[in-house]
Structure 1
Amino acid sequence: MTTAPQAAPAPADAEARNWVDRFAPDPAKPYLRLARADRPIGTWLLLIPCLWGLALAGAQGAGPGALMLLYYAALFALGAFVMRGAGCAYNDIVDRDIDARVARTALRPIPSGQISVRRAWAFLVGLCLIGLLALVQFNRFTIYLGLGSLAFVAIYPFTKRVTYWPQLWLGFTFNWGALMGYAAAAGGLGAPAFCLYAAGIFWTLGYDTIYAHQDKEDDALIGVKSAALRLGPATRPALVLFYSATLALFALAGALSGFSLLYYAALAPAAAHFAWQIHRLDIDDRARCLALFRSNRNAGLLLLAPILLEAIAPMA
């Protein structure tokens, strides 16, 4: 008597009863997991800085109009989904030997044998082509800017081998969208856009350090570096610094843009959320670290809200 083949188990850090496990056809599941479609938080963290940039240009009156900004936001959402997937596939190809030795990542599709390296490369190329189709809808400056981000993506998986601050490089990479969003709407860049980019880098230093605490024991054993290992018990005061810098740079972006007092008051919920993260942190509780990391979707949206309010206020 034969039994039906069992679906491959999901990685340990996937959300319970996610849509991939529940609805995707079995042959597609390994590829969707390779793209982290079962963990949408990464797409949010890539998309939100794009929305910051778009909204900032719109609030400054530099945007092309509400409907076009919504169209650009949809393009960035598509691009964030496929390019985050491509980045994850590339990261997993490069890190396949490391992932096989870390409990949280051992069940990822490549180290677990669900997808071959050749097929992973083919999937990556396909995602990049979709991303390129989205990118070419923007102005030429934004297209070149987007292509420039590929250098950060290519280098990122190797940084954990040479520095305790791969989270900093991830910040350079994941927040590039703040510049792209602004450039797509305004046709160029200005100091406030660079403030948002820098703010995003500090934000990423915070949330990805929290994330890295999940793997610190395995990382120490196999010789992989991270900010979690470098900071250790000093993580909480470091988060105070990182998140304070994020808020200060958002405030500076508002000052350079001539925003009203409403903008600064509206930063308070984001500040409260960051304070809650720092208070709740337990660097030895993996489940709590993962939950706090995921809560940064809300943090990013709370940072978006003041810019949107500033854009809407003149219309009221």
Structure 2
Amino acid sequence: MCATSEKKSTAVFIDLPPYTPPQRGLLSWLPSSWVPYAELIRLSRPIGIVIIYSPYLFGTLFAAVVSPHHPTPGSLLKTNVILFAATIFLRGGAVAFNDLADREIDGRIARTRHRPLARKAISPRNAHLFVAIQAAIWLAILSQLSDRCVHYAIPLLGLVGIYPYSKRVTDFTPVVLGFTVAWGVFIGCAAMDIDPIDMATDDVAAKTYALCCFYLSCALWTNIYETIYAHQDIQDDERQGVRSMAIPLKGSVKSVLSLLAVSQVALLACSGWLIGAGLWYFVGASLGVAISLGTMIWKVNLREPSECWWWFSNGTWFVVGSIVVGILAEM
């Protein structure tokens, strides 16, 4: 970065406090050399793990409903414990790779200026090595379930690699992120010995269509919460020329989010109809999600960053809970 750019960045943050090591919480107990890596994987913000893990959970529950083998609660729980453990490393590697790609941009944004790579607390070389280790551990854990899980995991690595750079070519990066995060639905099915490709036969084609509807509904959900999350930085993004879906939709964001929410609920309902789900599935996975998303979109003040964060982190629990209750009602 040239000297003029450095002075400009410094001027932007002249009234903001400098970086200070964590004084409270888990990170304050870690050795100082570990803190940058803990910050890199967002250890203090575990909601990201829940968000990324949710499609895996949905996939396992969907597979349990459509499977002719009727898996026991114990086997379902064991599979999800392993998938959750794997998700910890997937999330760590994904956000670290994202920060690697965005380290120069993050240094110019108020909320992200203290991230480890932006403040040069971790070198790019060490960060690349760290990402590789996280990915290797993630694949190693998935391999404990089945080779099929690994086969479905490989394409996800490509999607994770594409996402950070999609910000350079389009404002609609949540679309890319949506297809990436939702891929966990397929891995969750594979973990329960239900191969999404093998389901695409005449006798179970409806189940394949149902799974695709579920996948697309998760992708739309990602677009909703990611757009709300992006409003935390909208002023900095506009000033720095950073691409974000929140910017071109400015003035009509809630209308677009409402349309996405209606589409998500419709896809969940279509998935239930295709598998012959009963009333309680639609009460939970359709009505429950509709109420959760409707309340979030109606109540959130997109001009207030703290509210965007609150609804991003807490709204997740309502949506996930509604879908889980709806699917469990079918088991």
Tell me the residue number matched to 1:259.
Answer: 277
**Contact 2:53 / 2:84 at 8 angstroms: preserved in 1?**
yes
Q: Is 2:236 aligned against 1:218?
A: yes
1:31 aligns with 2:49: no
Instruction: Show the 5 A alignment for 1:4-23.
Output: 8-9=20-21, 17-21=24-28, 23=29
Amino acid at match of 1:238: V
Instruction: Say if 2:67 and 2:194, in contact at 8 Å, map to a contact too.
Output: no
Q: TM-score scaled to structure 1, two decimals?
A: 0.90
One of 149, 156, 161 as aligned partner of 1:154: 161
Deviation at 1:54, TM superposition (A): 0.4
Query: Aligned partners of 2:129 and 2:67: how far apart in 1?
Result: 42
Structure 1 letter corresponding to 2:65: A
Tell me how far 1:270 sits from its aligned partner: 2.3
SS at 1:310 equivalent: coil
Q: What are structure 1's unaligned runs of at least 5 residues? A: 1-5, 11-15, 312-316
Q: Which residue of 2 aligns with 1:303?
A: 323
Rounded to whole Å, the distance in 1 between the matches of 2:121 and 2:42 is 14
- Letter of the 1:250 counterpart: L
- Indicate whether 1:197 and 2:203 are aligned: no
Instruction: Give the match for residue 115 of structure 1.
Output: 122
TM-score normalised by length of structure 2: 0.86
In 2, Cα distance between equivalents of 1:237 and 1:9? 41
Equivalent pair of 2:139/2:153 in contact (CA under 8 Å): no
Gaps in structure 2 of 5+ consecutive residues: 1-17, 197-207
Moved over 3 A (4+): 6-10, 61-64
How far, CA to CA, are the matches of 1:174 and 1:31 in structure 2? 23
* 2:63 is aligned with 1:43: no
Q: Deviations for 1:231-263, whole angstroms, at most 9, x for unmatched residues?
A: 112111111111111111111111111111111
How many Å separate the matches in 1 of 2:212 and 2:76? 20
Contact map agreement 2:284 2:325 (CA 8 A) in 1? yes
Taking a change above 3 Å as real, the CA distance of residues 75 and 93 of structure 1, as seen in their structure-2 partners, is same
Which deviations, in whole Å up to 9, do the C-alpha atoms of 1:242-287 show, x marking residues without a partner? 1111111111111111111111122323221111101112111111
User: What is residue 231 of structure 1 aligned with on the other side?
Assistant: 249
Change (3 A) 1:7 1:168: closer
Distance 1:208 1:289 in 2: 10
Contact 2:116 2:122 in 1 (8 A): yes
Taking only the aligned residue pairs, the percentage that are identical comes to 32
Query: Whole-Å Cα distance in 2 between the matches of residues 296 and 141 of structure 1?
Result: 32
Deviations 1:28-65 (A, max 9, x none): 11111101111111111100111001001112234543
Counterpart-to-counterpart distance in 2, 1:171 and 1:223: 23
1:13 aligned residue: none
Contact 1:7 / 1:26 at 8 angstroms: preserved in 2? no
Shift of 1:8: 4.1
Matching residue's letter, 2:209: A
Match of 1:3 in 2: none
CA contact (8 A) 1:8 1:114 kept: no
The AA in structure 2 aligned to 1:56 is F
Letter in 1 for 2:249: L
**Residue 139 of structure 1 aligns with which residue?**
146
Give the C-alpha shift of residue 7 in structure 1: 8.7
For residue 45 of structure 1, what is the amino acid of its counterpart? Answer: I
2:12 counterpart residue number:
none
Matches of 1:281 and 1:179, distance apart in 2: 31
